[in-house]
Copies of this chain bind each other. A is one copy, B any other.
Amino acid sequence: MNKSDEYSSSEQLWLENQICFPLYAVSRMVTKLYTPLLADLDITYPQYLVLLVLWKEDHLSVNEISSLLYLESNTLTPLLKRMEQKNLVRRRRSQLDERKVIVSLTPDGKGLQEKAACVPQSIVNQMSTDEVSLQEVQSFKQTLTKLMHLLNENNNRNRDELTD
């Protein structure tokens, strides 16, 4: 173990020595960066994520969206209903399997893709500075992605253990 990783029991309970707190804080701060940009499109950040996956592949079931975004149906169902109210998507029960609800883009929902094209660059510009190099951002993203898959498997394992 590295010397710098040794903390006393009480020091471990200091905010500065925790890794999860900055993760939590930065996540909220980044969402705040998106807010004014997405307000122009009259959508929220989670709604933007749903549009991102549908722009890549349309006509996905709630379950498929759930798997891609790691969001549960109890979050997605009301969120998708709000998007349906705004005429961005349509929700239809599948003919082949009446349990499934297929979510499809409306012309309005498709149309937002062009208006959103400038969003990613605007975010990247706001996040990159002299203090954080592109190289650093790249490896940061790699770690994030590894953690995402790791923790997702962890969550799935914990959930399955309970039902066993």
Q: A residues engaging B (CB < 8 A)? A: 1-2, 4-5, 7, 9-10, 12-15, 17-34, 36, 45, 49, 52-53, 55-56, 68-70, 113, 116-117, 119-121, 123-124, 126-127, 129, 131-132, 134-141, 143-148, 150-152, 154-155, 158
Contact = CB atoms under 8 A, between A and B. Distances in A.
A132 B147 contact: yes
A23 B69 CA distance: 12
Interface centre among A14, A69, A120 (most CB of B within 10 A): A120
Nearest to A70: B25
A137 B34 CA distance: 26
Given A140-B143, A147-B132, A151-B127, A30 B20 contact: yes
Given A15-B49, A52-B13, A56-B15, A29 B143 contact: no
A143 B45 CA distance: 23
Q: Which 7 A-B pairs have the closest CB atoms?
A: A27-B27, A29-B151, A12-B120, A22-B144, A140-B143, A22-B148, A19-B141
A113 to B, nearest CB: 7
A121 B52 contact: no
A12 B55 contact: no
A31 B36 CA distance: 26
A140 to B, nearest CB: 5
Given A27-B27, A33-B151, A52 B22 contact: no
Nearest to A55: B13
